[in-house]
Structure 1
């Protein structure tokens, strides 16, 4: 029977995933983009390849046996960003969870381990698949060995067989080392022969097969300069071949028979995904739905209600409004369960919604209700004409505040953490994905009753925990009132001018066509503008622009490359604009039109997601509309008031996080700058560059601004260097000079790290907690990340607390003043309202006053406001 061996180049794929995906982090603040990308590839491999044997090979360190031949091997590489290096241990933990063997060997590279195992697999009936992010391993291709190379990001691969290589590259696998010998490899600092690129090298090898034969026929080669270079750099060429050759006899201490793969245990992977926050991958997991720590449950008594009567209620009830879809704006209510001290009721949807007794109870603020997800409960019933009131307990919000790092905040998980294992996971009861459905009524009713019962039984214990953590006030006076306000805001939605959006779409399409034609005119020919393979030769061969970066398959035309070329040719700015507008068209214009419902957009605010306490928004994400580009800002023209003679009123905090930093750090210079209403970025530029105010130019201020906001977000020298397009050394110098200028900020950051190590968590202005177990980790990268998180969480979290309190104060004030104005959106530090024109004068006084006075800091809070016929005009 044939055996299937899969060998993965770990370092290569992790690097590829890191740079292909946005710099994401999970609820614990741990960077996860490389882990997520690598895991996506791994799961695809397991599903498609079905390996019988498997290994992920890693490089052991910076020094290898190749450095003995050439000290500069892989020299000049940027130091691995800490945001990436801290993910390597997580990848290895994940491989352990998947039961996938991994291995590294001192002085050798992953390629050598893979090559040696490939060589040993030639003995016997093996099929071998090698997977990598680059083409170094193509020399291993044979009739039994296929090498898959990730082609675009992490989602596409090209499978190299001898036939495919001949068709695509016109070379055999054995010639790959000769190709490297001639053209070199900048990524590995293999010198090759100057002036010899892929075309020349391929031409020579097609004719002479090997570099040995090339040099044997040196006199026959045409081209004076080529011949001179080949002659002058002969030693480099042969050394390059030696460096590029994979060692297939490396002294590894395992064989192909030692790396058998027998599948993974769902439970371990499930737990790891939950910890990492990989919700989307949970759905793709085979067997994940079988994970359930509940024992076989005892039967539970309940009553199926055919008619609701007032004597069912005690005034203290837990209620579950059960919906299978996450988006409660669209989801059907499958049934309702109510539990109180006397009884447990399963209520079919129509029985509840058609009952005046149920509506009267739901809308009675004196009747206390306990729920899971107050916001979703409010919206789902408002859509059915019932405005539920009297919600005094929300299990979701309470559990989130106790530990926002917990990725799974569903009812069974919360129950299990509290020692109450009496309800199964929804996946177990309903299935998942396309197979999700309501089971037969006995199972369904029991499940709902258990959920409601868990809420009812845990209320006291959960509230005691909040009091113990000194978070009850945060829960009761901030998060709970806010949840009810957000529910009303979501239900209200924001009016959208669909015709305007569609017109923008047509305008953008016309604009894109004109830009495309302009690019073709500048290039002197037509081509596929979306194809880097076609774009590269146009830019770097035909137009002879300087090559910034090469990939394994040609020239890089990534955004960072094109940005460095701006100003060198008119075509570059046109291509960058084309890409920006293309994304705007597909993601935002078309994306928003898809979710308009009855001329309104009803976003959902995530209140129990981020560890800093900030709200986020989904379906659609209205916090992410790109406004740096004029065309992006214009999308806000489509967001309009819902009534005639009304306006959109927008108010936002000015530099709230920097003001919070000044308050927390008590830095005299920072505090004075805000008290004296100075431009903080100009002030920082003066301090960092040691210049007078009139000497600060726009570039200095831009750099100072990046440093100011970077400090708040715990930015590293790598992150700042990427933002400003400078070297990491320069970025580090900026950060050092900043701390020298604002020493109390540095003192605060040092002290908060020590406080986090002592307590295990940090807190915000209103006592929101963020636990940092990694702060005492022996792993340098994990510990460093936790330290950065300790520094910035009190700042970001306190800013989030402030705007949440402002929303509550403003909502209350609008009602007290009997104004018609309504809160519609919260976008970062900005509140969006709609109001009749006659209320504008009052709003100009009320809104900034409520927002600026909501808390008292040592520096003043400042709010800017504007209003107009659309969100765009309110600027």
Structure 2
């Protein structure tokens, strides 16, 4: 059986991965998406081809014969986007780490080298596979040489395979005649001009008939249509140039030793470490991590499993200025403690025998009286250790989130790599696999000790560089005064939870089910048959084929039944209106009626998790379950709030900032008209409508006010004329006029927003009023859509982020006042600009005053912060 060689066109596949897959960046801000996509394609091809030899060819981006010919004709080639250019050396580094042979040669393009190696290898009796996105390489196809062309769309890659027979079948020409086709029709992707007015169909007909461009030129008068004949007559020199450009040199003077390309173990320790640097966690499972050299830090790890030793350790810890700690725990209990006294003295205290979880937590609380506990996740520690003073903790996870709020997670190995000079620590998966902490503890896993020590070491060793970074970026105050105290505020909210009437929730679900069944019957009657309403494909066929409803938009997978399309059809189509209601009610039932019932705990309350390291703008999010997403637009959705009730003897006080983002915009832009309007307590939307539409204030219609409200809030989010036209169902031209009139009305706002974009482009980030930064790498993207997104982010983030900072300050102060004044009332929920307090009935007046004072006084703006406050016996009543 013949040996096989796989040849890969490096730049072509990297380019295809860059444009076909979402961009990725690692903790250091390096673009990595193209490298990740390349490796995905490589691994797939290797599994399919199983070659004995592998080589990747790269262009050197130096002038080649074909470059010079093209430049003589039409100037320089289109430059490579910077985000892709910086990934080329990274790709080569990865291939080298995997032991893969790379070839390049000055004066020759990658496809020349691939062609040369393909011809040589076929002569050696090998089977050859060439992987490239460049169809020029089809000219190399034979019975022994196969060209594989990947095509990436919406993140999914398919691959077409061509031997000589498949080329002839698809293109009606032989592989060498691909050059003739390109000579006539050109190829913009490869900078081959072709001749004007000749497309693929005409070019194919000419080559099938005449074989070559030279022969076609000899038989010029026989060529049809006339346009193609005259184009070849006039531009034959261009056809010759294009043929030369398209012809691959298969005799390049390339020095090549096959044994150097023999495929060995790709999953080397060096490749593993590089995958860790680039955060390619999906590839970790391919590596045998036992072959990776042990991290030298581990020689400083010790286990302390006896009571006397633990007491001595804790005494020593209390004498330090700060220590690193990692309490291994979950809702069910505590399993061990990692504790770093110095970078060279890191201990693991397991929960076993006399070293109980309670003992360890009590010891930690006592240590915190005299030293600072550094942890990657302070809030999880607070579940078991009753700390109250934010001055005695340092939260590494929250700090690195502030420094880079774009990441989706902040693992200890990522943090170490970024803040400890590229230190490469094992991941949680390396140490524990997929085991939970409890499962690892029950197995007495050796990895648990290493995991705890690595966590504690990272928290300890990174504290100083992270603190310095916060000070250098002027976010130390945001961290100390907002984010650090917030950990304790959120912990209190999670512990209290919110009371839910389980029986009423069940009854609510049953009512929904009755209406859902009614709607199902109505929909089936109107459709004339039963079908799966939840299947977009079946629904599309029913609406747009069987019922013939106009306005359907067909995609590759069938008709789109997205909400925006159905909403436009609903006013004229009763069935569509019923389908939209059906969708809303089934969502309410599954997510809320059923979903919330499943998470009511033994105390009759739901204990959501509040996250402060998720959103890029600084907003708090809620998960397990998400209580910030309770529907408010439809009455049936709002009714869910009736099941959220206070404890007996308590009521709910709900306080909501009014138009906080618009007030922030007025202050930050310094627009006198907007500031004056707020100072005079005008109806801001009516006033905007009056000035934008040039009608007296008292004559503004409800429609004009609604439109002005959409513009007011849209401006805050950097809305485009297209977006506004969609929101208001008006033409794009009308929307553009609204926006233009708005900026004429409030002239400083336009300058302020433009200034934010310019600032973002110059610095790479924008800042809130209080100094929170939001990086915007999209502003430097070569992709227009990404840059446009970046511009909207630059306009919105400082405003939304400032509003988020303000509500956090208010939350912290309200929480502290309730504690300091010895009140039994407690903060139980935050939903964006709204705070919900479970208030002791006797304390309503005091708590109302606290809310008013602390929310309005959170910051001082040029316009007063306004708070709407309501009281009720359920969240529904209070809202």
Structure 2 length normalisation: TM-score?
0.68
Distance 1:362 1:566, change over 3 A: same
Residue 630 of structure 1 pairs with residue 635 of structure 2: yes
Residue 713 of structure 1 pairs with residue 722 of structure 2: no
- Which among 544, 549, 554 is matched to residue 550 of structure 1? 554
- Which among 369, 372, 375 is matched to residue 372 of structure 1? 375
Specify the alignment match of 1:362 in structure 2.
365
Aligned partners of 1:314 and 1:340 also within 8 Å? no
SS at match of 1:595: coil
Give me the whole-angstrom Cα distance separating, in 1, the residues matched to 2:581 and 2:445.
Answer: 56
Give me the whole-angstrom Cα distance separating, in 1, the residues matched to 2:849 and 2:278.
Answer: 51
C-alpha displacement of 1:143: 13
Residue 690 of structure 1 pairs with residue 691 of structure 2: no
Specify the alignment match of 1:859 in structure 2.
863
Specify the alignment match of 1:869 in structure 2.
873
Aligned partners of 1:485 and 1:808 also within 8 Å? yes
C-alpha displacement of 1:124: 5.3
Residue 463 of structure 1 pairs with residue 467 of structure 2: yes
Give me the whole-angstrom Cα distance separating, in 2, the residues matched to 1:358 and 1:96.
Answer: 49
Specify the alignment match of 1:615 in structure 2.
620
Give me the whole-angstrom Cα distance separating, in 2, the residues matched to 1:26 and 1:113.
Answer: 24
SS at match of 1:476: helix
- Which among 334, 346, 349 is matched to residue 347 of structure 1? 349
C-alpha displacement of 1:359: 1.1
Residue 792 of structure 1 pairs with residue 796 of structure 2: yes
Specify the alignment match of 2:704 in structure 1.
700
Residue 306 of structure 1 pairs with residue 310 of structure 2: no
Specify the alignment match of 2:831 in structure 1.
827
C-alpha displacement of 1:271: 5.3
Give me the whole-angstrom Cα distance separating, in 2, the residues matched to 1:357 and 1:302.
Answer: 17
Aligned partners of 1:362 and 1:388 also within 8 Å? no
In structure 1, stretches of 5+ residues that fail to align are: 19-23, 56-84, 105-111, 147-161, 163-171, 175-234, 236-248, 275-280
Alignment of 1:567-582 (within 5 A): 567-582=571-586
Residues 617-640 of structure 1: CA deviation (Å, up to 9, x unaligned): 222222223321222222222322
Alignment of 1:161-560 (within 5 A): 282=282, 286-287=286-287, 296-297=296-297, 299-300=299-300, 302=302, 304-307=304-307, 308-309=310-311, 311-316=315-320, 317-323=322-328, 330=331, 332-340=333-341, 344-350=346-352, 351-353=354-356, 359=362, 362=365, 366-381=369-384, 391-405=392-406, 409-419=410-420, 424-427=425-428, 429-433=430-434, 437=440, 444-552=448-556, 555-560=559-564
Number of matched pairs: 718
Aligned partners of 2:718 and 2:793 also within 8 Å? yes
Root mean square deviation, CA, Å:
5.2
Residues 669-698 of structure 1: CA deviation (Å, up to 9, x unaligned): 211222122222232333333333345444
Structure label with greater radius of gyration? 2
Specify the alignment match of 1:652 in structure 2.
656
Residues 418-440 of structure 1: CA deviation (Å, up to 9, x unaligned): 33666723336424436994697
SS at match of 2:839: strand
Judge which range, 509-518 or 289-298, deviates more.
289-298
Give me the whole-angstrom Cα distance separating, in 2, the residues matched to 1:301 and 1:368.
Answer: 21
Aligned partners of 1:375 and 1:486 also within 8 Å? no
SS at match of 2:653: strand
Judge which range, 299-308 or 439-448, deviates more.
439-448
Aligned partners of 1:294 and 1:422 also within 8 Å? no
SS at match of 1:321: strand
Aligned partners of 2:305 and 2:349 also within 8 Å? yes
Distance 1:86 1:587, change over 3 A: farther
Give me the whole-angstrom Cα distance separating, in 2, the residues matched to 1:632 and 1:35.
Answer: 43
Residues 341-387 of structure 1: CA deviation (Å, up to 9, x unaligned): 696432112455456585165157633332324543444315xx887
Aligned partners of 1:320 and 1:371 also within 8 Å? yes
Give me the whole-angstrom Cα distance separating, in 2, the residues matched to 1:753 and 1:825.
Answer: 34
Aligned partners of 1:490 and 1:604 also within 8 Å? yes
Distance 1:414 1:272, change over 3 A: closer
SS at match of 1:338: strand
Give me the whole-angstrom Cα distance separating, in 1, the residues matched to 2:689 and 2:492.
Answer: 44
C-alpha displacement of 1:402: 3.3
Specify the alignment match of 1:765 in structure 2.
769
Residues 529-568 of structure 1: CA deviation (Å, up to 9, x unaligned): 2334443444345544223423346543332222121221
Structure 1 length normalisation: TM-score?
0.69
Aligned partners of 1:652 and 1:830 also within 8 Å? yes
Give me the whole-angstrom Cα distance separating, in 1, the residues matched to 2:367 and 2:655.
Answer: 34
C-alpha displacement of 1:660: 0.5
